[in-house]
Each structure stands twice: as structure tokens, then as C-alpha cells.
Amino acid sequence: MVDESEPKKFKLLTESEVAELLRCKPPKVKRLRLSGKLPYIPGRPNFILESDVLDYIQRERKIEAAGLPGSPEFQALQLQETQKRARESWMKYQFRLRRRNAAKAKT
């Protein structure tokens, strides 16, 4: 019997749509993007996955619940965020490197 499960669907949002979800202005979304707090797909326009926006909202709620910046819970959460951003940066670097190597191999 063949498994007919549907592929995972995702929704791409523009900065203005994300601003509506976060109840803020588009320049704040741009700052979040450029600071690395909100992953995005570069292009014209920049797209942001809805799941990434929901993850960001959830992270912000955890930070608020963790309490003061000096508390161990807050520091553990900050460490998780830093590790996640480092992984994302490494993956982007590897992607660019592979694309560059593939272009060199073609020539």
C-alpha cells in the first residue's frame, strides 16, 4: 500500500504581512530580519516563512516568561538562540560555498 500523506505545506509572507501578524511596523520587521532574529528568503520582495514568524513569537514569549536577563533560565534561552543562529549562518555559508564550487566546476 502506498503512503499518500500530503507534503508539508508552508506559507510565505511579505514584510508587511509579518508586520500585521506581529502588530508592528514594517521597519521593525526589517530590523528583526537584518539582526538575524527572523530568518528570511532574500529577494524582491523578501519572504518570511509563517512558521518562522510563529517560532519568533513563541521565543519572545519564552524570554518574557524566563524573567530577568541575569537569571539562569534567561541565559540558557539566550544560549539556545545563539546556537540556532550559528547553525543557520553555517548552513548559509555551506550553501554559498557549494554553489560557488559548482559554478567553478562548470567553467
Q: Which DSSP state fits 69?
A: T
Per domain, the residue ranges of the chain are 12-106
pTM of the entire structure? 0.55
Secondary structure of 23-56 in the HEC alphabet?
CCCHHHHHHHHHHCCCCCECCCCCEEEHHHHHHH
Cell numbers given for 9: 505545506
Q: What is the pLDDT of residues 7-53, one digit of tens each?
A: 667 889 999 999 999 899 999 999 999 988 898 888 888 899 998 89
Main-chain dihedrals φ then ψ at residue 37, nearest 5 degrees: -80, -20
Cell numbers given for 4: 499518500
Residue found under cell 502588530:
23
